[in-house]
Structure 1
Amino acid sequence: MHIVGLSGSNVGSKTRTAMSVTMDFLTKKHPDAEVTMIDLANYEMVFSDGRDYRTYTGDTKYIAETIMAADAIIIGTPIFQASIPAILKNIFDLLPVNAFRDKVVSMFVTAGSAKHYLIVEHQLKPILTYMKAQVVETYVFMEEKDFSRNELINDDSVFRLERLVDDTYTMVNVLEKIRIEKDEAYDF
């Protein structure tokens, strides 16, 4: 099982901090999983121009191909101006419409205000559903007050991130079992 952690911003520290906590849980609790973390702050990406993702080069191609090869993606995103960052939207624009078919996608959000809690429901989940993702229904929402000096200090947020990791891992396993059962139902 290959799980990608996608830290969906090229600025700020809260999303990166929460992603580090999430990846630590993943590697400790599920050592059998192949884990890749992509922090968009560490890559030089070009904007999508409508081409097939395989024709891009450099970091853009690496990110797109890594996501396409994953069984699950855990997306961490901040909320800027009541929306997801442009760099994260660019990732979705680079990929084909069916990019997340048979992939589990879970997410967490870091925001400066509790007023942004519905951005996932109104923006991110519709994009992922359109791209055929199997979305983990519950997500983790964290605010400014949950962080201090580049550390996640809210125990409830830490617990919910751990649960998100477990839910993502479990959903991948369940979907794999369903696929195997469906395949075995055919004679050819």
Structure 2
Amino acid sequence: MKLTVVSAGLSVPSSTRLLADRLTASVQAQAEQPVEVRVVEVRELATEIARNFTSGFPGKALADALDAVASADGLIVVTPVFSASYSGLFKSFFDLLDKDSISGKPVLLGATGGSARHSLVLEHAMRPLFSYLRALTVPTAVYAASEDWGAAGLDGRIERAARELAGLMAGGVVNHAPRSSGTGEDFAVVPFEEQLAALRAE
């Protein structure tokens, strides 16, 4: 399976890239098939993105990055928060995608910021953007504020979101019925064929 990771962090090192890497590692650990990863650092494409808007043509590196997004079986997209929304550079990159290039593609949303009060950027900005692009966003999105690093809770959210993405990339769907195992998990990824067989048996 091909996984493309789009990180829009602006600094080096970047908490945005750190979150992207942790999400990626968790997807690889939970996937039932080998996962081929391609990372797109949007910061490195800033000049080409601006030039594309003025010339109408992408440079080689930008075209390669856009192809990596379009050809992936799943995406992880992570942005820093600026003015209560995704960064302009992040939005500019996705503005250049061809129409329908990620339609139906599973996408895991992530964001980083200095304060927990910006966490709603995931639901109020990022999820609507990818809904407009007709992508299939996984139910769990992951926001990491400065105080989340090393704190209880972040690892669990990363694991849950990664499990959802790995399942959807493998052709499953997310079932929100509680499990009976008593583990505290409230979802399971069930292959579509199994759900169809169960419906026919009723």
Length-normalised TM-score, structure 2: 0.75
Task: Tell me how far apart the structure 2 counterparts of residues 85 and 107 of structure 1 sit (CA, whole Å).
Answer: 14
The alignment-based identity, stated in percent, is: 23
Count of residue correspondences: 173
Letter in 2 for 1:168: L
Provide, for residues 143-164 of structure 1, a one-character-per-residue CA deviation record: whole Å limited to 9, x for no partner. 11123xxxxx124212211221
Task: Tell me how far apart the structure 1 counterparts of residues 103 and 64 of structure 2 sit (CA, whole Å).
Answer: 19
CA RMSD, aligned part only? 2.6
Match of 2:163 in 1: 166
Task: Tell me how far apart the structure 2 counterparts of residues 89 and 7 of structure 1 sit (CA, whole Å).
Answer: 12
Question: Residue 132 in 1 paired to residue 134 in 2?
Answer: yes
Match of 2:22 in 1: 21
Q: Structure 1 155/51 Cα, relative in aligned 2: closer, same or farther at 3 Å?
A: farther
- Quick check: 1:97–1:130 contact (8 Å CA) kept in 2? no
Task: Tell me how far apart the structure 1 counterparts of residues 130 and 54 of structure 2 sit (CA, whole Å).
Answer: 18
- Quick check: 1:128–1:135 contact (8 Å CA) kept in 2? yes
5+ residue gaps, structure 1:
148-152, 180-188
Task: Tell me how far apart the structure 2 counterparts of residues 50 and 72 of structure 1 sit (CA, whole Å).
Answer: 30
Task: Tell me how far apart the structure 2 counterparts of residues 136 and 72 of structure 1 sit (CA, whole Å).
Answer: 10
5+ residue gaps, structure 2:
174-190, 194-202
Q: Structure 1 50/127 Cα, relative in aligned 2: closer, same or farther at 3 Å?
A: farther
Question: Residue 99 in 1 paired to residue 96 in 2?
Answer: no
Letter in 2 for 1:161: I
Q: Deviation of residue 96 (structure 1)? A: 2.4
Task: Tell me how far apart the structure 1 counterparts of residues 104 and 69 of structure 2 sit (CA, whole Å).
Answer: 12
- Quick check: 2:140–2:157 contact (8 Å CA) kept in 1? no
Moved over 4 A (4+): none
